Amino acid sequence: MTTSDGFVTTDDGLRLFYRQVGDSGDVALFINGVPIVDDFAPLARERTIVFFDPRNRGRSETVRDRSQIERGIHHDVDDLEAIRRHLRVDRVDVIGHSYAGATAALYAMKYPASTRRVVQIGPVAPDQSRQYPPHLKHEDETLQLALAALGELMKEQSTLDPIEFCRRFWTILNPIYVIDPADVPRLKWARCDDANERGYMPTWLQHILPSIQQLNLTSDDFARAVAPVLVVHGRQDRSGPYGGGRDWARLLPNARLVTVDPAAHVPWIESPSLVFDAIATFLRGQWPATAEQITT
């Protein structure tokens, strides 16, 4: 498979870094996917996948003023469209993990004519105010210990070198993303040598997270996302509650859910055959046998 790097200029003048894997077939855009290119590259045997760093992330350009970040996740939605236009393709598949799973769905709502299919992996819930019962969220001792340790680390932040703080931050958080601690070394998103990544937390807290919390999606909004959507969610996800994945599959008009059990926030690491087979089947135009319709 061929691999090439490049940059796309957004409508407001920022340059976004992308890594393209493959050069044939349908085109899929993978939001915030650069750190996990190696994991998902095998899917590019049958298509072209463009993994990219969102604005203010990774090798993409750092924002220059508030106007380039204040819309939070909605900037990312429009940046997806800018990348599609740059690639000169009529329709794209969109893949998003974690909060970017919500980005992918919002893109399908805003740009339905440009969306072929959507894959959400461990997406945040569509309604951040909803409180899920215990069987639809996973709050165990691992999560509580991580949150307590993170609180202690934040007290030391002003005294620590930024790179050291970043490394300790991810050392604390990574165990919550997997069920088996032996899988922690396989997580690759702690890019602490990158200035954008070290400085991302204020952007997340001040702009990205509030924009997600302020979503007030209506039935009309969901109805605009006419493209098929595959939701892949670990039942023991501590970061994005499993109930949120079920809600996306229930509320979107043409969506189905693949439940990965046991698995937390990175189900492709914990159950690779199930996850990659399901995604590959879906991107070929069929529902995987493991996908279920959610009605309640």
pLDDT digits (tens, 9 = 90+) for 177-193: 999 999 999 998 889 99
pLDDT for residue 256: 98
State the pTM of this model. Answer: 0.97
Q: So what's the pLDDT on residue 1?
A: 80
Specify the pLDDT at position 130: 97
Describe the strand order of the beta sheet including 229-234 as a list of residue ranges. 3-9, 15-21, 48-52, 27-31, 92-97, 115-121, 229-234, 255-260
Q: Which domain does 231 fall in, by range?
A: 3-139+196-283
In a domain, 145, yes or no: no
For the chain, how many structural domains are there in total? 1
Q: Look at residue 179 and tell me if it is in a domain.
A: no
Identify whether 241 is part of a domain.
yes
Q: What is the SS3 string spanning 161-211?
A: CHHHHHHHHHHHHHHHHCCCHHHHHHCCCCCCCCHHHHCHHHHHHHHHHHH
What is the structure's pLDDT at 119? Answer: 98
Q: Please report the pLDDT score of residue 188 as a whole number.
A: 87
120 sits in which H/E element = strand 115-121
Residue 176 in any domain: the answer is no
Q: Has residue 169 been placed in a domain? A: no
Please check whether residue 161 lies inside any domain of the structure. no
Residues contacting 236, CB < 8 A, separation 6+: 138, 179, 242, 261, 262, 263, 264
Question: Is there a domain that residue 261 lies in?
Answer: yes
Task: Return the structure tokens found at 199.
Answer: 């400085």
Intervals of the chain under pLDDT 70: none
What pLDDT does 100 receive? 98
63 lies in some domain: yes
Beta-strand pair 15-21/48-52: antiparallel
Instruction: Look at residue 139 in the predicted model and tell me its pLDDT.
Output: 96
Looking up residue 12, the CATH number of its domain turns out to be: 3.40.50.1820
